[in-house]
């Protein structure tokens, strides 16, 4: 069995990690992978220089720094999740991807032949859910070749 467990560092994703560990401990699991997907698409009108204005060199340096910080935060989330599994003597690997989370999770599960996706029912931001829809709901709807366990 191959398990893909999703994390964004939220309380619900911690519950997904716990459930995935329970499954891994009780089954013959050949692969446990932890995935974190970050989205680097930027709303240009939200940037300090605004839409239609040219950014300065300083603006671009700040922008690159923010992107780097976001990626570092993503790697930290994965490391913390992997540490949780290590404490339970469960070998894992991590997957860090950029893109829309639901699409990227489903594509990764298909491309790598996972048997089950374990995902928390909610992520970090309730407000994002209102505007973007639930990542877990989208994963359930879009996953065709893989079972999905949504953890509350």
List, in order of start, the domains of the chain with CATH numbers: 2-151 (3.40.50.620)
Predicted structure pTM score: 0.84
* Residue 88, helix vs strand vs coil: coil
* Opening angle at CA 99, ends 136 and 13, nearest 5: 35
The tokens for 28 are 């013959």
User: Which pLDDT tens digits describe the chain residue by residue (152 residues)?
Assistant: 999 999 999 999 999 999 999 999 998 899 999 999 987 665 555 566 655 667 778 777 877 887 788 889 999 999 999 999 999 999 999 999 999 999 999 999 999 999 999 999 876 555 544 444 589 999 999 999 899 999 98
Q: Helices then strands (H, E): number in the chain?
A: 5, 5
Q: Are strands 2-6 and 147-151 parallel, antiparallel or unpaired?
A: unpaired
């Amino acid at each position: 069995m191959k398990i893909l467990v999703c994390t964004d560092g939220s309380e619900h994703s911690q519950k997904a990690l716990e459930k995935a560990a329970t499954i891994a401990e009780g089954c013959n699991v050949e692969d446990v992978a932890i995935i974190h997907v970050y989205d680097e698409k930027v709303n240009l009108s939200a940037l300090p220089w605004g839409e239609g204005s040219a950014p300065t060199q300083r603006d671009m340096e700040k922008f690159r720094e923010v992107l780097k910080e976001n990626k570092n935060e993503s790697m930290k989330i994965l490391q913390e999740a992997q540490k949780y599994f290590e404490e339970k003597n469960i070998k894992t690997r991590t997957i860090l991807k950029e893109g829309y989370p639901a699409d990227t999770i489903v594509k990764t599960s298909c491309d790598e032949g996972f048997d089950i996706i374990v995902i928390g029912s909610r992520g970090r931001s309730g407000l994002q859910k209102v505007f973007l829809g639930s990542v877990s709901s989208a994963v359930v709807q879009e996953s065709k070749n893989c079972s999905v366990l949504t953890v509350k």
